[in-house]
C-alpha cells in the first residue's frame, strides 16, 4: 500500500482501467467501478500519493482509443484467476506494442510465456490445478484476511468508508463478496504473490535499459499471434483454401 508509506521508493503508476468484466453481478461491477474512481479521488487528497499514482477510467474502450492506449502502456495486467477467465487478445496487443505483462497462468498468457520466455513475463498466483485443489480442500478467505496485515488494512479501509466518507457503507458489498461471499475467484489467495510480483516490477522499472531489452524481446516474440499467421492457419486447416499469388 502506498498510503502511509511516503518514504518508501516505488515506481510511479499511471493506471488506465479499461474494463471490468465477468463479475458475479452487475451491482458488484458498478460498485467496483465506483471504488476505482474513489481511489483516484483519494489520490488527489493525499500527499503520500502525490506523483506516485494516477487512475484514469476509460468508460468506452474501443478500437479508436485503443490505438493510443496500447502503444503508451509499459505494463499490461492480465490477472484473471487461473482457470476462471481465459484472457482475450488484449494481452497480445499490449505485448506487440512493447508492454511487459504481469499475469496468471491463464488463457493466452500461457502461450505468450512460451513465446517470449519466462524471464520476460511476470507470472504470479495459483495455477488452474492449484485453484481446483484449494477449493476442494475448503478455501476460507478469512484465513488470509487475518494472516496478512497489509491486506486486512486495505479491506478494512474499503469496508469502513475510507474511500466514501459521505457514505461509509457504500463499498461494504465488495468486502462482503470477498469474505462473507467466499471469494469465488480466490483473489485473496493470489494477493501476496501479486504484491511480490509487483515489487519485482518496481525494481526492474528502475533499470530502463533492461526494461527496454525485455520489451523488445516481447515484441519480437509476438509473431505467432499476428493476424497474418492466424489467417494463414485458418485458410489451411479450416477453410481449405490456398493463397492467391499476384
Where in the chain are the domains?
A: 13-239
What confidence tens digit (pLDDT) does each residue in 31-78 have?
Answer: 888 898 888 887 777 666 666 777 777 777 788 888 888 998 999 999
Report percent pLDDT > 70 for the chain: 85
CATH architecture of 13-239: 3-Layer(aba) Sandwich (3.40)
Residues 6+ apart with CB under 8 A from 242: 235
Residue 209 DSSP symbol: H
Instruction: List 53's β-bridge partners, or say none.
Output: 13
- pLDDT surpassing 50 at residue 213: yes
What confidence tens digit (pLDDT) does each residue in 94-137 have?
Answer: 999 999 999 999 888 999 999 999 999 999 999 999 999 999 99
- pLDDT surpassing 80 at residue 23: no
CA–CA separation, 174 and 178 (whole Å): 6
* pLDDT on residue 20: 47
Provide the whole-model pTM. Answer: 0.86
Cell of 221: 516474440
Residues 6+ apart with CB under 8 A from 98: 71, 73, 215, 216, 218, 219
Q: How confident is the model at residue 222 (pLDDT cuts 50, 70, 90)?
A: very high
CA–CA separation, 77 and 92 (whole Å): 11
Average pLDDT over residues 137-154: 97
Amino acid at each position: 500500500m502506498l498510503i502511509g508509506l511516503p518514504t518508501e521508493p516505488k515506481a510511479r503508476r499511471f493506471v488506465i482501467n479499461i474494463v471490468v468484466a465477468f463479475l458475479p453481478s452487475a451491482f458488484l461491477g458498478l460498485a467496483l467501478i465506483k471504488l476505482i474512481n474513489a481511489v483516484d479521488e483519494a489520490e488527489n487528497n493525499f500527499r503520500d500519493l502525490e506523483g506516485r499514482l494516477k487512475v484514469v477510467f476509460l468508460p468506452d474502450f474501443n478500437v479508436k482509443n485503443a490505438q493510443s492506449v496500447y502503444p503508451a502502456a509499459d505494463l499490461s495486467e492480465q490477472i484473471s484467476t487461473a482457470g476462471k477467465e481465459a484472457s482475450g487478445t488484449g494481452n497480445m496487443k499490449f505485448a506487440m506494442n512493447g508492454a511487459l505483462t504481469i499475469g496468471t497462468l491463464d488463457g493466452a498468457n500461457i502461450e505468450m510465456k512460451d513465446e517470449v520466455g519466462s524471464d520476460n513475463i511476470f507470472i504470479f498466483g495459483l495455477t488452474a490445478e492449484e485453484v481446483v485443489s484449494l477449493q476442494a480442500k475448503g478455501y476460507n478467505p478469512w484465513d488470509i484476511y487475518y494472516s496478512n496485515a497489509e491486506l486486512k488494512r486495505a479491506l478494512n479501509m474499503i469496508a469502513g468508508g475510507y474511500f466514501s466518507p459521505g457514505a461509509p457503507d457504500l463499498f461494504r458489498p465488495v468486502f462482503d463478496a470477498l469474505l462473507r461471499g467466499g471469494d469465488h475467484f480466490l483473489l485473496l489467495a493470489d494477493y501476496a504473490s501479486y504484491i511480490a510480483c509487483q515489487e519485482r516490477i518496481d525494481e526492474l522499472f528502475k533499470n530502463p535499459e533492461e526494461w527496454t531489452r525485455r520489451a523488445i524481446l516481447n515484441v519480437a516474440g509476438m509473431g505467432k499471434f499476428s493476424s497474418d499467421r492466424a489467417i494463414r492457419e485458418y485458410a489451411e486447416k479450416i477453410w481449405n483454401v490456398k493463397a492467391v499469388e499476384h
